[in-house]
Amino acid sequence: MNSIRVEIGEQSYDVIVGRKLLAGSGTLIAQRMKGPACAIVTDENVAAHFGQFVAESVRAAGFQPTLVTVPAGEESKTLGQAESICGQLIAAGLDRTSFVIALGGGMIGDLAGFVAAIYHRGIPCVQIPTTLLAQVDSSIGGTTGVNTTAGKNLIGAWYQPALVISDVDALKTLPARERRQGFAEIVKHAVIRDREMFDRLERFDENELEAIIRRNIEIKARVVTADERELSGERALLNFGHTIGHAIERAGDYRSFLHGEAVSLGMVAACEISVRKAGLAESARERIIAALDRFGLPTRLPSEFPKDKILSAIGHDKKFAHGQVRFVVAPAIGDARLVDSVTMHDIQAAIDAL
């Protein structure tokens, strides 16, 4: 078991990484939480694997858990679903001394974290990510929120977790496609911050998975510590591939691609723009695309995909400010920067290249 500290003043917290952690999750939580009542928010798929297991561990540690289950899938990440969960918390008697446990992937982490941020004006949230994508990225950093018909995460709050427990063994239950999408964020972290890790990914061995997860958490923690609320531009680098990736998700009505798959396509497009606008070598672009291919991630859009909808969706992205896209480019593997010189014409050309 390893602990990585995310230093954000009074909101600092630990990310605990290891194996067989779910069985002792109640004990780990009891070291930091005091309120007797809590809600475990999860989805139907995760509940079948871990819901009662975690509830029993939490109960054995002296807490009184209420299990709240929502349908699996991005369709559950809505304001209406958040209201429904709040209603169940009220019915269960949770008050300002209570806390929320987000047990699941990125959707649950965003949704349950948002509920914790607004319930009684904020109660603590423990993140227990059960997907690779959530363990290496979305469970860390305090971005919570829900989607609207206009775009992803447009309603939300900055709300840091009180604790993150990442059990690598939980990933054994993942469907292959769900597991693969997590590698999109891993490749992203390598491209923007760690050339050495990128080299390791090119010869990835399954035995290295836990070490790779730890390294990604360290990268995310360092960026969040430097720029918690995306004010200096440092944290914005984590959006590499996401501007176009989010637009692809929306153009496909959140059904065509998983988040990591859309980010993979977004990174391919971002590499195309980086070659044209930031001096990324063609050979480096091909290495990045090959790395995404290695992990079974999409690098080209299907011919029937409605590409015309992607560009219009760009305007609904949070990173589209004052009619101008703040775009992340990579001049080289291991280096990224935020620029405002990328035009909609550049983005259209990169989409066409997909």
Q: How confident is the model at residue 326 (pLDDT cuts 50, 70, 90)?
A: confident
Q: Are residues 166 and 204 in the same domain?
A: no
Question: Whole domain around residue 188: which residue ranges?
Answer: 176-353
pTM tops 0.95, yes or no: no
pLDDT of residue 321: 54
Q: Are residues 195 and 252 in the same domain?
A: yes
Locate 115 and state its tokens.
């509920």
Final residue of a domain: which of 172, 193, 209? 172
Q: Which residue has the higher pLDDT, 287 or 250?
A: 287
Listed range (113-117, 314-318, 342-346) with the worst mean pLDDT? 314-318
Domain containing residue 269: CATH number:
1.20.1090.10
Q: Are residues 90 and 206 in the same domain?
A: no
Q: Are the beta carbons of 171 and 129 closer than 8 angstroms?
A: no
Total domain count, the chain: 2
pLDDT above 60: residue 18: yes
In Å, the largest CA–CA distance within the chain is 59
Q: How far apart are CA 167 and CA 132, in angstroms?
A: 10
pLDDT above 70: residue 322: no
Listed range (60-64, 283-287, 321-325) with the worst mean pLDDT? 321-325
- Give me the DSSP letters along 193-210: H-HHHHHHHHT--GGGHH
Q: How confident is the model at residue 345 (pLDDT cuts 50, 70, 90)?
A: very high
pLDDT of residue 314: 86
Q: How confident is the model at residue 230 (pLDDT cuts 50, 70, 90)?
A: confident
Q: Are residues 18 and 73 in the same domain?
A: yes
CA distances 24 to 21, 53, 56, 213, 216, Å, are 5, 10, 10, 20, 23
Q: How far apart are CA 87 and CA 173, in angstroms?
A: 30
pLDDT of residue 53: 97
Q: Tens digit of pLDDT for each residue in 207-228?
A: 999 999 999 999 999 999 998 8
Q: Are the beta carbons of 191 and 238 closer than 8 angstroms?
A: no
Q: Are residues 93 and 197 in the same domain?
A: no
Q: How confident is the model at residue 1 (pLDDT cuts 50, 70, 90)?
A: confident
Q: How far apart are CA 259 and CA 61, in angstroms?
A: 35
Listed range (118-132, 148-162, 326-340) with the worst mean pLDDT? 148-162
pLDDT above 90: residue 316: no
Look at residues 124, 119, 159, 117 and name the one whose alpha carbon lies nearest to residue 35: 124
Q: Are residues 165 and 232 in the same domain?
A: no
pLDDT above 80: residue 323: no
Q: How far apart are CA 317 and CA 325, in angstroms?
A: 9
Cβ count within 10 A of residue 8: 16
Listed range (149-158, 204-213, 341-350) with the worst mean pLDDT? 149-158
Q: Are residues 34 and 75 in the same domain?
A: yes
Q: Where are the alpha helices (DSSP H) in 137-194?
A: 176-193
Q: Are the beta carbons of 143 and 153 closer than 8 angstroms?
A: yes
Q: Tens digit of pLDDT for each residue in 257-268?
A: 999 999 999 999
Q: Are residues 230 and 164 in the same domain?
A: no
Q: Are residues 28 and 114 in the same domain?
A: yes
Locate 265 and state its tokens.
């396509």
Q: How far apart are CA 19 and CA 310, in angstroms?
A: 40
pLDDT above 90: residue 332: yes
Final residue of a domain: which of 142, 172, 202? 172
Q: Are residues 157 and 202 in the same domain?
A: no
Domain containing residue 72: CATH number:
3.40.50.1970
Look at residues 156, 230, 166, 221 and name the one whose alpha carbon lies nearest to residue 193: 221
Mean pLDDT (the chain, rounded)? 94
Final residue of a domain: which of 138, 155, 172? 172
Q: How far apart are CA 21 and CA 17, in angstroms?
A: 8
Q: Are residues 143 and 205 in the same domain?
A: no
β-pair partners for 37: 64
Locate 204 and state its tokens.
């990835």
pLDDT above 80: residue 40: yes
Q: Are residues 210 and 107 in the same domain?
A: no
